[in-house]
């Protein structure tokens, strides 16, 4: 028997996609029964959107989310007054999420196999951790979708450089949706630089984009201040592991370095040098909470399920990464891995959120590696059992 699993042709099996996307839409409709999700952050975004419409400047922390506020402003301007523009936002977020699923499938096809792509698509279409955010007026849904869409457009740029005209704006928009994008954009731009370095026009576009992006970020002084507060002194000494709003679900008792005139980066380095073991333990606890999704206030049954399923998930993910890095599309796989590591670094230096929203941003990319690993192992087992 040949590798039927990995080479199975999807053509003529449209019903599979219809079923998967029907389930995805049904899940979204089910979640929407709770109504539009509103939080304190929602007010910040809608207020900023109105300021953009009124031609006023956005100051303070909201500037770090200017991409999402601009998205809300555009939707509000385009929505007739008799309609609730927030409902239109929810519909658009679901559309973006649907496009992201299609892009996820295409990435799997390009890098791995039809079967791996289909498995990743099927898993992601029922992943409640991601789907739940589609009905919230928050950055999570759009940012998660745009990360996947941007990955697809960047990979297509490697095949057809003309796609850079779409990929670069998508990457910059993703960057501006929320502060995490300021780290992830570096991974995207390094990849684009590596594939277009032989193309003078592509090189010029990337250099111009980097200049614009850096200029934009440095203009936003409040963004720098906010970033320092989020990843600065307090989050090491506080020992925060998991947080939800102002509730600290889990903390470690950490030593205090004391007063110093050092800046944020220098202070963190001093802290790590003086208390390396405490720092490593804190980071390990954060990443454990981040990746394994265990929470102290979950039921024992729920946590036991996670204790069983997550190690299996990551075992196949690791296998998928190993197999992927052996393939020809090494740069593309490093792009995906780089984005995962970038978000991991953010959580390690800050905290894990109780509702898993930070995990949402990269779980679809992790699922690609998982699917590739699972299908690769299944193929090997199939070959061994085949006669001759």
- DSSP string across 239-287: -EEEEETTEEEEE------------HHHHHHHHHHHSHHHHHHHHHHHH
Per DSSP, the three-state class of 222 is: helix
Task: From residue 276, give the alpha-carbon distance in Å to each of 108, 171, 269, 271.
Answer: 39, 35, 10, 8
Structure tokens at 238: 């506080």
**How far apart, in whole angstroms, are the C-alpha atoms of residue 302 and residue 295?**
9
Buried b (16+ CB within 10 A) or exposed e, 302-323: ebeebeeeeeebbebbebbbeb
- Listing from the earlier edge strand, what are the strands of the sheet with 247-251? 247-251, 240-244, 352-353
Q: Three-state SS across 82-143?
A: CCCHHHHHHHHHHHHHHHHHHHHHHHHHHHCCHHHHHHHHHHHHCCHHHHHHHHECCHHHHH
Q: What is the model's pLDDT at position 266?
A: 77
Phi first, then psi, for residue 247 (nearest 5°) are: -100, 125
Give every CB contact of residue 72 below 8 A, 6+ residues apart in sequence: 45, 46, 48, 49, 85, 89, 137
Please say whether the beta carbons of 101 and 121 come within 8 A: yes
User: Quick one: pLDDT at residue 180?
Assistant: 86
* DSSP states of 294-351: --TTS-HHHHHHHHHHHHHHHHHHHHHHHHHHTSS-HHHHHHHHHHHHHHHHHHHHS-
Regions of the chain with pLDDT less than 50 = 1-8, 10, 218-224, 226-232
* pLDDT of res. 358: 96
Residue 198 pLDDT: 65
* Spatial distance between the Cα atoms of 384 and 223, rounded to a whole number of angstroms: 56
Quote the CA–CA distance of 31 and 128 in Å, as a whole number. Answer: 9
Continuous segment of H or E residues that includes residue 353: strand 352-353
What pLDDT does residue 178 have? Answer: 93
State residue 197's pLDDT score: 67
Which pLDDT belongs to residue 259?
Answer: 64
Instruction: Read off the pLDDT of residues 144-173 as tens digits, 9 standing for 90 and up.
Output: 999 999 999 999 999 888 888 899 899 989
> Which of 174, 144, 187 has its CA nearest to residue 342?
187
37: DSSP letter: B
Question: Which of 40, 54, 133 is closest to 94 using CA atoms?
Answer: 133
**Half-sphere CA count of 175, side-chain side, radius 13 A:** 22
């Amino acid at each position: 028997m040949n590798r039927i699993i990995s080479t199975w042709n999807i053509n003529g099996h449209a019903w599979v996609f219809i079923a998967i996307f029907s389930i995805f839409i049904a899940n979204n409709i089910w979640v929407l029964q709770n109504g539009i999700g509103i939080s304190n952050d929602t007010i910040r975004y809608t207020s900023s959107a109105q300021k953009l419409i009124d031609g006023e400047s956005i100051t303070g922390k909201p500037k770090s989310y200017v991409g999402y506020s601009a998205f809300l402003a555009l939707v509000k301007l385009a929505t007739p007054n008799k309609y609730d523009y927030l409902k239109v936002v929810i519909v658009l977020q679901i559309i973006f999420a649907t496009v992201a699923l299609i892009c996820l499938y295409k990435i799997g096809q390009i890098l791995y196999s039809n079967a791996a792509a289909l498995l990743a698509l099927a898993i992601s279409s029922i992943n409640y951790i991601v789907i739940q955010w589609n009905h919230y007026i928050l950055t999570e849904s759009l940012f998660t979708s745009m990360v996947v869409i941007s990955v697809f457009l960047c990979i297509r740029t490697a095949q057809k450089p003309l796609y850079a005209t779409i990929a670069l704006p998508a990457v910059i928009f993703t960057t501006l949706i929320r502060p995490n994008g300021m780290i992830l954009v570096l991974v995207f731009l390094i990849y684009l630089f590596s594939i277009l370095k032989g193309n003078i026009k592509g090189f010029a576009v990337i250099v111009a984009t980097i200049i614009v992006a850096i200029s934009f970020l440095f203009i936003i002084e409040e963004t720098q201040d906010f970033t320092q507060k989020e990843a600065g002194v307090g989050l090491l000494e506080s020992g925060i592991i998991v947080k939800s709003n102002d509730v600290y679900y889990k903390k470690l008792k950490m030593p205090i370095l004391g007063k110093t005139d050092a800046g944020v980066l220098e202070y963190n380095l001093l802290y790590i040098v003086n208390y390396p073991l405490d720092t490593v333990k804190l980071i390990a606890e954060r990443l454990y909470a981040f990746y394994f999704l265990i929470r102290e206030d979950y039921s024992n049954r729920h946590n036991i399920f996670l204790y069983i399923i997550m190690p299996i998930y990551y075992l196949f993910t690791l296998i998928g990464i190993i197999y992927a890095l052996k393939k020809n599309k090494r740069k593309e796989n490093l792009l995906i891995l780089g984005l995962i590591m970038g978000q991991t670094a953010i959580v390690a230096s800050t905290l894990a959120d109780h509702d898993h929203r930070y995990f949402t941003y990269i779980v679809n990319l992790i699922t690609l590696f998982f699917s590739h690993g699972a299908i690769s192992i299944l193929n090997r087992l199939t070959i061994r059992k085949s006669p001759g």
